[in-house]
Amino acid sequence: MELKTLRQKAREELKGFCRVCPVCDGRVCAGEAPGMGGMGTGASFSANLSALAAWRLNMRTLHAVKAADTAVTLFGRELAMPILAAPMTGVLYNMGGKLSEEDFIAMIIDGAAQAGTIGMCGDGADPAMYGSGLQAIEARGGCGIPIVKPRAQAVAKDMLARAAAAGVAAVGMDVDGAGLLVMALKGQPVSPKTAEELAELVGATGLPFLVKGIMTADEANIAFDAGAAGIVVSNHGGRVLDQAPGAAEVLPEIARAAKGRGVILADGGVRSGADVLKYLALGADAVLVGRPMVVGAFGGGAEGVAFLLNKLKAELTAAMLLTGTASVRAVSPRILRPAPGI
């Protein structure tokens, strides 16, 4: 498979919804939500990339690191890389509908499995979207993590129970989905959660629980106090609140406040293996990748998803060797330096 061919096909299949830009930074698609863009001015989308660009990697080649170990264990699953496919739904109104919801999520879950990692499935304005993800995960031996929107407690508990029945690796809730425009337009009530409500949901399942959409240190500790097994530092791809900071901007303070309390994942703006390594050096245990996986699925199906994940892994390996990093499980912040002017 060739990257150029994959991207060209994706551009054709996503016409009118995603331009498959040379640099996926949200400038061209600003305000296109629904669609693939960021909310409002698109500043929160672009902030994810600029926050990563604010850091450079210190190159070191006089060291004893001869091989880079990219393997991690998350929620009892051994993964070949600290890179997971992020939860995404809304193929019809966000991506043009050339693929069905069922086919799209199956490609994401299959492609991630082929690359030796796991994918997440999401919840959306059509409740059938969540069911499609559970089916795909169950068919592949539970190799996936479903993420539920912050719906009413009883509804969310039922969805968590369905996930457990499907044998998933973990479950989660993207609490920042409380502000999703599409959910409001489609009449699907969502709202913020109190600490007590979150603890009730964590206690309703025996599975590891992820809280996605954490952007402050105090909310990271609220999530862990509620019993969460992990958090995802994320501004929802810039799709819920205009003018929010980028994930890499807030990750260091969150890691300082909550490191060791559970898994810390980071989501937003990952476009290369170097970006992955930056997030790890800033305090994440692993990262999520979203929009590039859409290009992979539409451009090459499950194989396209696996191809792009393996490309990120290869770039990560090269960056590790050139910074003297032996393992993704122990990445020193010393490999980073602020970009000029930061």
The catalytic residue positions are: 236
Structure tokens that stand for 216 in this block: 């402050």
What digits encode the pLDDT tens for the residues 149-204? Answer: 999 999 999 999 999 999 999 999 999 999 777 787 788 889 999 999 999 999 99
- Pairing between strand 144-148 and 230-233? unpaired
Q: Please, what are the domains in the chain?
A: 72-329 (3.20.20.70)
**How far, CA to CA in Å, does 33 sit from each of 30, 91, 138, 182?**
8, 13, 30, 8
Mean pLDDT, the chain, rounded, equals 96
**Residue 342 confidence (pLDDT) above 70:** no
Q: Any idea which residue has 């500043």 for tokens? A: 43
Confidence at 128, pLDDT banded by 50, 70, 90: confident
Pairing between strand 55-57 and 336-338?
antiparallel
Calpha distance 135→190 (Å, rounded): 24
The pTM score is: 0.97
